[in-house]
Amino acid sequence: MGEKVVASNKKAKFEYFLLEHFEAGIELLGSEIKSIRAGNISLAESYIEVDGRQAWLTNAHIAPYEQANRYNHDPRRPRRLLLHKREIRELWNSVRQKGVTIVPVRVYLKDGIAKIDIAIAKGKKLYDKREEIARRDMQREVERNERPKKF
């Protein structure tokens, strides 16, 4: 079947250096998975919390599923991430360092199952962001000049 990207956190790549990626499952309710399959999820203000034993996706917005009526879910509830113990331990050890955090990068469906790509990230400084913007503008300019001109 393959992968279908449902939501991505574009700001994460701009705000952070993504050091190491992990694939995690998400513990969801029935109405949440139906809403995700419809593409109604936002990772804009979400982050990952690790307490040493478990990892949680916090502040991700999964819109209520309209057909679920009274059995619907809370859109911003914390959701448990399904990871191996050694992965949780690795995340826990990395988060305790100064300036390191864990950010959700994208949510996708893999063979019909919702997965989340999370990354250990280090914050960028303002000059790093400016450098990236300048590099992107230069690349865009080069691509614009390489295109054949139409008259």
Q: How far apart are CA 115 and CA 112, in angstroms?
A: 9
Is 113 within a domain?
A: yes
Give the pLDDT score at 1. 62
Whether pTM exceeds 0.95: no
Give the pLDDT score at 25. 95
Question: Among 14-18, 122-126, 144-148, which stretch is predicted with the lowest mean pLDDT?
Answer: 144-148
Helix (H) or strand (E) holding 122: strand 113-123
Is 43 within a domain?
A: yes
Mean pLDDT of 144-151: 76
Mean pLDDT of 114-140: 90
Give the pLDDT score at 79. 93
Residues linked to residue 48 through DSSP beta bridges, in sequence order: 57
What letter does residue 53 receive in the DSSP assignment? S
| More confident: 151 or 81 | 81
What percentage of residues in the chain have a pLDDT greater than 70? 97
Give the pLDDT score at 151. 63
Question: Among 48-57, 112-121, 123-132, which stretch is predicted with the lowest mean pLDDT?
Answer: 123-132
What letter does residue 2 receive in the DSSP assignment? -
Cβ neighbours, 10 Å, residue 112: 9
pLDDT band at 85 (very low <50, low <70, confident <90, very high): very high
Domain span holding position 48: 3-124
Is 42 within a domain?
A: yes
Q: Is the pLDDT assigned to residue 109 strictly greater than 70?
A: yes
94-98 contacts, C-beta under 8 A, 24 or more apart: 94/20, 94/120, 95/50, 95/120
User: Sign of dihedral through CA atoms 7, 36, 27, 46?
Assistant: positive
CB 41 within 8 A of CB 73: no
For the chain, the maximum distance between any two Cα atoms, rounded to a whole number of angstroms, is 64
CB 48 within 8 A of CB 103: yes
Is 11 within a domain?
A: yes
pLDDT, one tens digit per residue, over 3-37 is: 899 999 988 888 888 999 999 999 998 888 888 99
Q: How far apart are CA 32 and CA 107, in angstroms?
A: 13
**Mean pLDDT score across all residues of the chain:** 89
CATH of the domain at 58: 2.40.280.10
Three-state DSSP class for residue 150: coil
Domain total of the chain = 1
| More confident: 70 or 46 | 46
Is 84 within a domain?
A: yes
